[in-house]
Structure 1
Amino acid sequence: MGSPEAAYRSGEGSALHVDTAFYDRLAEHTGERELVERFVLPIRSGQAWEVPAGHLCRISTPEGPQVGDLNVWNRHNPRERLWASRTRQLQRAHVSRHDRLWSTLPYLRPLVTITNDTLEWYGTDEEGGRVHDLLGTRCDPYVNRMLTGEDFDRHCHSNLTRAVLPHGLTEFDVHDVLNVFQCTGLNDRDQYFMKASPAGPGDFFEFFAEQDLLCALSTCPGGDLSVPLWGPDARDPVEVCRPLGVEVHRPSPALTEGWSVPPTAAYRGRHGLTGPG
């Protein structure tokens, strides 16, 4: 008996239909791009940066496995931001090449399209683990206090909060994340589990900015997640924490010819409300 069909399906020509040849050309023609920004995030830190529409952004593991918690906003309107739950429904719970990250209502359009992923080979392991997780969300000091009775200020929520403050955003703008390089799944009791990241030195995850973006990334204090953060076997996993690299590239105009920023959702109704206007 086969698996049930996905609930959210669409035909040719919708925003769910991806021109894979276009994005594959962007990934393959690395000699036809210009590096415009590069930096390294130290362990247990966060940083925010801009990615202009039509540019490529690469997140890498220069020294080996390390989980990164990623937030994405429309640079001009932070109310439009990554909608993790709808992305799970429209794409997958674990994303890879050709998947898109979708924005919140009432905008509902692609923020990014994933162009390259050196961990695409991982697939599904024997325990149901997959990489680049949208099932879970960021670690935070509130849950940590609840589980351990202790305060810790370097969880991903706090790292992201500090990162966005210079850009005029606050803790209230930090949202559910894409856990880049993180291996997760659901066990036979339908409970969320995390495994050690399979990333190695030089692995990367790359995406194309479908609109002007503000991104923020945290180097998770759990490092590669090979050491439990909570529970009877928990200990400080600082020895498995490593930096993450970020690069922003401008592709050749010839590679993006014909592309344009996706429009916002076509629905223009009034939600059944009546009255003047």
Structure 2
Amino acid sequence: MTAPHLVPEDAAERRAVKPVICYPVDALPGADLPLYRAAREGAQKIAETVVPPRDAATIEVPAGCFLRMSSVEGSQVGDLNLFNAADLSERFYSGKTRALHGTHVTTGNRLWSSFPTLRPMATIVEDTLEWYGKDEFGGSVHDVIGTRCDPYTGQVLKGVDYHHCCHSNLTRALAEARNLPLWEAEIHVHDVLNVFMCTGFTRDTGQYFMKASPVRPGDFLELFAEIDLLAVLSACPGGDCSAEHTSDTAACHPLLMEVFRPQAQALEGWSSPPVNAYDRSHGL
């Protein structure tokens, strides 16, 4: 066993060094929220699907349309995966979204895709829970820090198999939507946007925590699709995640996904963002 490490004499000075933002966002391509909101007026519903409790569902969202995810019966959180509808290798990149916008996202923030495309996949245009802000525990809503509840961690921590974790739900739903074997669909399932979930990190141990979501029936999060999307949403088996996120006993409720298409002239001049301009021909 090593001896205790001595506190250096300049420890307080080192701790007092001011932080520097890793990725200043002043130069990020901005979302044209006034345009999107104007386009949302008069948009017509073209599709909807109900996500059953402890299960997942998919929906196609054409570029230039809006995806609304709603709580309809009770307090319920969801785990969201997003894919380029034509190419599953382009998918939501929660880590880079977190680096650019922070641990939790809300109106005006964008959801970015994976390398090598790295472009906005969707923009949050309305969030009925943006009033929550950050509570006294450091908790906030709609996080991009959690991975998703999964059966592998359950096996490690509890030695049990559980088949309705969000990872499993997302895998089955994607497999069905794209006619893939489960093993192939699972490769594409990725870290999520935790819709409606209230989370943070403990100040003393730095552990990821959850608490009862403030979401109530009628609350929703709405996205503008920057590219053609396949959205896959799991209604977490933990319900509002007030006690646990893997449970057959927690009160769980369905979620609703709806797609709205604006009038043709509403987005005149708008186009999907191009893929990332980094030139890989000189080597990574």
2:243 is aligned with what amino acid?
V
Query: Which residue of 2 is the match for residue 40 of structure 1?
Result: 50
**Pairs within 5 Å for 1:172-187:** 172-187=187-202
Residue of 250, 261, 266 corresponding to 2:272: 261
Shift of 1:270: 2.8
Query: Which residue of 1 is the match for residue 96 of structure 2?
Result: 86
Q: Give distance in 2, aligned partners of 1:229 and 1:120.
A: 23
Q: Give distance in 2, aligned partners of 1:212 and 1:5.
A: 36
Query: Which residue of 2 is the match for residue 193 of structure 1?
Result: 209
Q: Give distance in 2, aligned partners of 1:103 and 1:39.
A: 24
Residue of 16, 38, 43 corresponding to 1:25: 38
Over 3 Å counting, the alpha-carbon distance change for 1:94 and 1:11 in structure 2 is closer
The reply on whether 1:252 has 2:263 as its aligned counterpart is yes
Query: Which residue of 2 is the match for residue 111 of structure 1?
Result: 121
SS in 2 for 1:8: coil
Instruction: Spell out, residue by residue over 1:102-131, the C-alpha distance to the aligned partner (whole angstroms, 9 max, x if none).
Output: 001110101100110000000001100000
TM norm structure 1: 0.89
Q: Give distance in 2, aligned partners of 1:36 and 1:208.
A: 14
Query: Which residue of 1 is the match for residue 170 of structure 2?
Result: 160
2:227 is aligned with what amino acid?
Q
**Pairs within 5 Å for 1:66-85:** 66-85=76-95
Q: Give distance in 2, aligned partners of 1:190 and 1:237.
A: 28
**Pairs within 5 Å for 1:108-147:** 108-147=118-157
Instruction: Spell out, residue by residue over 1:198-234, the C-alpha distance to the aligned partner (whole angstroms, 9 max, x if none).
Output: 001110000011011111010100110112357xxxx
1:223–1:238 CA contact under 8 A, matched in 2: no
The reply on whether 1:96 has 2:106 as its aligned counterpart is yes
SS in 1 for 2:172: helix
Q: Give distance in 2, aligned partners of 1:229 and 1:104.
A: 26
TM norm structure 2: 0.87
2:236–2:245 CA contact under 8 A, matched in 1: no
RMSD of aligned residue pairs (Cα, Å)? 1.9
Over 3 Å counting, the alpha-carbon distance change for 1:175 and 1:271 in structure 2 is farther
Query: Which residue of 2 is the match for residue 233 of structure 1?
Result: none
Residue of 71, 74, 88 corresponding to 1:64: 74
Shift of 1:90: 1.2
Q: Give distance in 2, aligned partners of 1:271 and 1:94.
A: 35
Query: Which residue of 2 is the match for residue 242 of structure 1?
Result: 253
2:50–2:57 CA contact under 8 A, matched in 1: no
Q: Give distance in 2, aligned partners of 1:117 and 1:70.
A: 15
The reply on whether 1:151 has 2:166 as its aligned counterpart is no
Aligned length: 263
2:117 is aligned with what amino acid?
Y
2:149–2:245 CA contact under 8 A, matched in 1: no
Instruction: Spell out, residue by residue over 1:144-187, the C-alpha distance to the aligned partner (whole angstroms, 9 max, x if none).
Output: 11111111100000000110112145111101110000000010
Shift of 1:39: 1.9
1:246 is aligned with what amino acid?
M
Q: Give distance in 2, aligned partners of 1:211 and 1:19.
A: 15
Q: Give distance in 2, aligned partners of 1:26 and 1:64.
A: 30
- Mark the runs of 5 or more structure 2 residues left unpaired by the alignment: 1-15
Q: Give distance in 2, aligned partners of 1:271 and 1:164.
A: 35
Which structure has the larger Rg over C-alpha atoms?
A: 2
1:23 is aligned with what amino acid?
Y
- Mark the runs of 5 or more structure 1 residues left unpaired by the alignment: 231-235
